[in-house]
Amino acid sequence: MNELRPRRAAADPVEHRRVSGRDRIRRSYTQYLQDESRMAAGGVEIIHFPTTAQEAAAAVRHARQAGHGLAVSGGRTGITGAAVPLGAEEVLSLEFLTYKPEVRHRDDRWTVRVGAGTTLQQLADALDHGLCEYPGGRPDRPLFYPVDATEMSAHLGGTIATDASGARTLHYGPTRQWVEWLRVVTPDGRLLELRRGEVTADGGAFTCVREDGATVEVPVADLPLPRTKHTAGYYLKPGMDAVDLFVGSEGTLGVIVEAELRLAEKPANRLYLTQFVPDAAAAVGLTAACRAHPALDPLALEYIGPRALALLRSKGRGTPAYMEVARLPEHAAAAVYLELPFTDEAGLDELYGALREALEATDLDAEQNWAGFGEKDLEEMKRLRHAVPEAVNAIIGQRKAEVPELHKVGTDMAVPPERLGEMMEVYRRGLEERGLDYVIFGHIGDGHLHVNILPRTAEELRTAEALYEEFARAAVRLGGSVAAEHGIGRIKKPFLAIQYAPEHLEAMRAVKRALDPEGTLNPGVLFD
């Protein structure tokens, strides 16, 4: 079956809370005009605050009937400007679409149903402390939702709309793999419910049934997808599941208001290890050795580069991770963080043996590391990693005081792990030839590192932006993605033309035209 059959929501009018007036919104609701990208919109006429799917549908109908663009707002933790209402007269905030998570056992798996406004932290706390509804009984073992986007304040609706991922994507995969069911408000203000496996793109298309009974074809092309983490544009494949049409679509095809997500069994025990290495090449070698070893199955493999560690050392007491920085071994130049599961003491002995072999294969000192098993150990190692972007933002803040137009230029590209060494050399050569200030850190196990360029002048900012484009072209040439986890939003639209040929971009636009012909939802996101 390939039919999308949205149903009419409750008859109008559906009353819900909203505020109106450009001056009032600019004065008292400025947070809804911006996100973590530091982009901001000038003004909006109405902000809707629905508490139910029916109210959200009414808000979409209101914008469509007025001929207005509608921007979708979640936790606004994104860094691509997707939640910034540029070109939209109305905003739909999903923050009050929350209720007690509902955990069920279905088809030999455990799932949790949540509202789009639920945060990752709220879900984690509810699962850890048994604060959910359990209609069919409680599970007999600890469960968790394994997608670990960096910001735990991110709303689940937003993480689905962007196909978010994080450090543990190495083992568990991105959001897409965990979505079982969605309730979506369509661009015409109806409600569409989709369960994975029930609606697929038979014959290379979906058929969407309009409110008047007529149908519109939603064409599904065969887009070339890289063998990496990838969140650039629509996911389109012959025979694809309809759920995947909306995951990662950045709110341009429908508004996700409710979701059912698969849960995983929580690992019984975990070893947290930060291994100090002499340089970037050693980090790449250790990563390859860990990925190749049959007895090692890391949940996460993270990297802090030499310039990043040097930056933390230079900040001294100016970083929240001061105690961790003070404990760094004198000769530690860079670091690789590993998170490794094990079941019992025998499993831990096997793990230690495998780690020794991986370290010996890369000529690394098994004594040059931090290791631990408890939450305290994990938090200490997290503080060290999270202190890097905090230090970067502090430096940019200081430089902006002198040159207001400055901002960091942060990349989000991934390449196949076997090409990572080549990509790191591209980064090093390009940055050092231009004399730019930079740090590198990120998800080394996925071939996905973040280069943060810290310009000091307006001229360096222009140089950095041009270099980012060069890096994007190199990543695609090596079989990678221009946007591995943060999506495209507004800021990175030019990169879509680097990833895809013109006919592929037209295939994406054809889907947008079929489902949202008036361009109501998130105007200016993904496409102009």
For every residue of 74-132, DSSP letters joined together read: SS---SSSTTS-TT-SEEEE-TT-----EEEEETTEEEEEEETT-BHHHHHHHHHTT-S
- Cα separations (Å) of 205 from 184, 502, 508? 19, 20, 13
**Third-level CATH fold of 269-477:** Vanillyl-alcohol Oxidase; Chain A, domain 3 (3.40.462)
**CA-closest candidate to residue 495, choices 481, 478, 515:** 481
Q: Name the pairing type of β-strands 269-277 and 264-265.
A: unpaired
Digitized pLDDT (tens) for each residue of the chain, 528 residues in all:
899 999 987 765 667 899 999 999 999 999 999 988 778 888 899 999 999 999 999 999 999 999 999 999 998 988 888 899 999 999 999 999 999 999 999 888 999 999 999 999 999 999 999 999 999 999 999 999 999 877 889 999 999 999 999 889 999 999 999 999 999 999 999 999 999 999 999 888 999 998 888 899 999 999 999 999 999 999 999 999 999 999 999 999 999 999 999 999 999 899 999 999 999 999 999 999 999 999 999 999 999 999 999 999 998 777 888 888 888 888 889 999 999 999 999 999 999 999 999 999 999 988 899 999 988 888 888 889 889 988 998 899 899 899 999 888 999 999 999 999 999 999 999 999 999 999 999 999 999 999 999 999 999 999 999 999 999 999 999 999 999 998 999 999 999 999 999 999 999 999 999 999 999 999 999 998
Instruction: Please report, as a single letter, which amino acid is at residue 473.
Output: R
Tell me the pairing of strands 269-277 and 334-342.
Answer: antiparallel
User: ω before 389 within 30° of 0 (cis)?
Assistant: no
Q: Which two tokens stand for residue 86?
A: 């540029």
pLDDT of residue 323: 87
Fold of 3-96: 3.30.43
Burial classification of residue 459, based on how many CB atoms lie within 10 Å of its CB (0-12 exposed, 13-18 middle, 19 or more buried): exposed
What are the start-end ranges of the E strands in 279-348?
300-304, 334-342
Look at strands 90-93 and 70-73 and give their pairing: parallel
Q: At what angle do helices 306-315 and 375-402 cross, to 10 degrees?
A: 80
- Is 414:475 a contact under the CB 8 Å cutoff? yes
| Token representation of residue 208 | 């969407």
Question: Which residue do the tokens 């802090």 mark?
Answer: 304
pLDDT of 461 reads 95
Q: Where are the domains of the chain?
A: 3-96, 102-265, 269-477
Bridging pattern class, strands 143-144 and 109-115: unpaired
Pick from 141, 165, 70: nearest CA to 520: 70
Residues 58 and 9 sit within 8 Å (Cβ to Cβ): yes
| pTM more than 0.85 | yes
H-run or E-run covering 464: helix 458-477
- Residue 39 is predicted with a pLDDT of 81
Pick the CATH number of 102-265 from 3.40.50.620, 3.40.50.720, 3.30.465.10, 3.40.228.10: 3.30.465.10
What is residue 225's DSSP assignment?
-
- 346, two tokens: 């025998």
Structure tokens of 499? 């990833």
User: What is the 3 state secondary structure string of 235-278?
Assistant: CCCCCCECHHHHCCCCCCCCEEEEEEEECEECCCEEEEEEEEEC
Structure tokens at 282: 């050693």
